[in-house]
């Protein structure tokens, strides 16, 4: 399910060619998942790497992930209860 989530998130990526002919890629539904590289191919690879790192950080107790095309990874993420 995680690989499918990554693939669907990558299918939503947006790329922009910058004035210096380099590329910027981002996945809007995943805040902070942005990459800059010299070629589109390099940018796509870097964006996937950034997404994977972002997921590792987000899959911790209490954080939620965006649901992408009905794939909800939050169902298996434990939540932390505040101690009173």
CATH architecture of 2-76: 2-Layer Sandwich (3.30)
pLDDT 10s per residue in the chain (84 long)?
789 999 999 999 999 999 999 999 999 999 999 999 999 999 999 999 999 999 988 887 667 889 999 989 887 655 555 554
pLDDT of residue 52: 96
Interatomic CA distance for residues 5 and 49, integer angstroms: 14
Q: Give strand pairing partners of 14.
A: 26
- pTM reported for the whole predicted model: 0.79
Residue 37 has a CB neighbour count (10 Å cut-off) of 16
* Structure tokens given for 51: 């997404």
pLDDT of residue 64: 84
């Amino acid at each position: 399910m995680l690989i499918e989530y990554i693939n669907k998130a990558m299918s939503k990526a947006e790329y922009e060619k910058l004035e210096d002919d380099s590329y910027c890629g981002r996945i809007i539904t995943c805040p902070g998942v942005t990459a800059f590289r010299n070629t589109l191919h390099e940018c796509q690879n870097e964006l996937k790497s950034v997404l994977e790192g972002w997921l590792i950080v987000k899959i911790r107790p209490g954080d939620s992930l965006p649901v992408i095309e009905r794939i909800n990874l939050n169902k298996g993420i434990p939540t932390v209860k505040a101690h009173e």
